[in-house]
Amino acid sequence: MIDNHILAPIFVQLFTAIAQLMFWRKTLTQRFLSVGGSIISLLVAIRLFSRVQSDGILTMNAANWDAPFGIVFVADTLSVTLVLLTSLAGVAVSIFSSVSLSRQRMLYGYFPIFHFLIMGLYGAFLTGDIFNLYVYFEVIIISSFVLMTLGGRKAQLEGAVKYMAMNILASMFFLTGIGILYGITGSLNMADLALKIQSVQNKTLVGITSCFFIIGFGIKSAVFPLYYWLPSSYHTPPSAVAATFGGLLTKVGIYAMIRVLSLIFIPDDFTKTLLMVIAVLTIVTGAFGALIKSNVRRLFSYLIVCHIGFMVGGIAMFTKVALMGTVFYLIHDIMVKTNMFLIAGLIRQLRGTLDMEKLGGLYRDYPKISLLVAIVLFSLVGIPPLSGFWPKIFLFQNAFSQQQYFFAGALLFGSFITLFVIAKMWSQVFWKNPPQEELIDDRFAPMPPYKKLLMVLPIAFLGAITLYIGLNAEAIVNVTDEISNQLIDNSSYIEAVLGDKTN
């Protein structure tokens, strides 16, 4: 069904960013515009989501060029779910950054760039054209480079060099893959590619091309041999930026992997084994990394890597139940990881440091905030009935029925290590007495009450959504069920894009 409203979220972010560029040095106006724009795009995303729920997959042909010749935008359930989650995270980060960021950073254009980044994310989720996906990836990475380096401290720039080099390399792999794919099929439309790739005789070439895509998306989503850039850069930017990165950027890689593997390169045995090995090693290395870190944000960075492995493992099994687990985990992960970096920012504001050795006594001084944080941490660990628990059930169940015992073991291992490091962090940061009381640099207490509220509100907002995901899991399971049906049987996607030209 043709519907022009698909582009509305993208346009809302674009115009928000442009309006902010007009108020370049007026940071107060920019803050209001940012929160307002985020809320409007959240409303638009909710509308798009309910529309897709009622009408099925929507498409939009740019400049009315019929698919597969023009660029096409497609909103299926997976896309709109991710757009909705991005909007929720966007609202939270936008409110949080309007109180937590220094005015210096805002003067250098934090808010416009942030909205360009969210625009790129929406575009990547909604496009149905593989080259357009590449272009949106570039929009995302160029914005993230600027956000990463904004402020220009030494550690930030050093992290940014690694981040930049690896991400440009990932784009290069992706672009090479697109080039070869165009050479062997002559199409760029993903639905059309799904049909044309089947008639390609040279299966080896198709396999090699799929490796280019897997490497490109693998670097972006930080899987095992390619993740080193993530822990060495994510702890450097301000927490609001790290929240956007940690919650959303690696997940775009996972989204792109799901999309490309479900439509174009349906995983064969080799790809499944490859992804499974990658997934297990990602979980194990991420977990080991998290064990030894004493800085809260470095710990969280390694947990991101560890949990990416869960999702890749689900993709590797590529059955309906496994994909349900992956998508559910994706939904849970975006909310929780964004929130965790916001929490890190709050801890930093409360104590002036993120080193677990120097932290302590937060529960004594701020019991309400600590309880809020505890809910989020429990969700992350997956204490039933909170949100991290449900997707793991699907993944476990499927790992056993597919005899993937290594993955089941790694899943257990990763979950236990997560539990252990989070428990360790909880006791170090919240329970133990601070080692040196006189060194505490509390910047939270002197803040005016409305600022305190605005700082805790986004965390409570995302925490409430996490609780909703956990306690009302049936609704989420229904959505993931629909998504995985569309992914396993891609004919509905193809038919929505190409109409009845399929035969």
Can you give the binding site for another protein, defined by CB under 8 A?
131, 135, 138, 141-142, 145-146, 149, 151-155, 157-158, 160-162, 164-165, 168-169, 171-172, 175-176, 178-180, 182-184, 186, 188, 235-239, 295, 297-298, 348, 353-354
Cβ distance to another protein smaller for residue 158 or 489: 158
**C-alpha distances in Å from residue 328, one per residue of 121, 369, 485:** 19, 27, 14
Nearest CA-CA partner of 341 in 433, 431, 239: 239
Q: Give me the least distance between CB of 141 and another protein, in Å please.
A: 8
Q: Which residues pair with 61 in a beta bridge?
A: 72
472 DSSP assignment: T
Place of tokens 């993931």: 480
Q: Please name the amino acid found at residue 428.
A: Q
For 430-459, letters b (16+ CB in 10 Å) and e give bebebeeeeebeeebeeeeeeebebbbebb
Residue 151 vs 253, nearer CB to another protein = 151
Distance CA 133, CA 149 (A): 24
CA neighbours closer than 13 Å in the CB half-sphere of residue 23: 18
What minimum distance in Å lies between the beta carbon of 114 and another protein?
A: 16
CB of 480 to another protein, least distance (A): 34
- Closer Cβ to another protein, 21 or 172, answer by number: 172
What end-to-end distance do the CA atoms of the chain give, in Å?
A: 18
CA–CA dist 342, 358 (Å, integer): 19
Minimum distance from residue 161 beta carbon to another protein (Å): 6
| DSSP label of 247 | I
- The CB-of-241 to another protein minimum distance in angstroms stands at 9
Whether the CB-CB separation of 244 and 170 falls below 8 Å is answered with no
CB of 156 to another protein, least distance (A): 9
Say how far apart CA 339 and CA 345 lie, in whole Å.
10
Nearer to another protein, 90 or 151 (CB): 151
Q: Which DSSP string corresponds to 145-213?
A: HHHHHTT--HHHHHHHHHHHHHHHHHHHHHHHHHHHHHHHH---BHHHHHHHGGG-S-HHHHHHHHHHH
Smallest gap from Cβ 145 to another protein, in A, equals 6
CB of 387 to another protein, least distance (A): 28
Which residue number, 298 or 332, has a Cβ lying nearer to another protein?
298
State which residue, 31 or 298, has the beta carbon closest to another protein: 298
Nearer to another protein, 172 or 419 (CB): 172
Q: Closer CB to another protein, residue 63 or residue 368?
A: 63
* Min CB(304)–another protein separation in Å: 16
C-beta of 53 vs 295, nearer to another protein? 295
Alpha-carbon dihedral angle through residues 406, 409, 414, 419, given to the nearest 10 degrees? 180
Nearer to another protein, 364 or 443 (CB): 443
CA distance 414 to 311: 12
d(CA 42, CA 3): 18
Q: Give me the least distance between CB of 183 and another protein, in Å please.
A: 3
Q: Which is nearer to another protein, 161 or 412 (CB)?
A: 161
Q: Which amino acid is at 49?
A: F
Q: Are 358 and 267 in contact (CB under 8 A)?
A: no
Quote the least distance from Cβ 131 to another protein, whole Å: 6
CA distance 442 to 229: 32
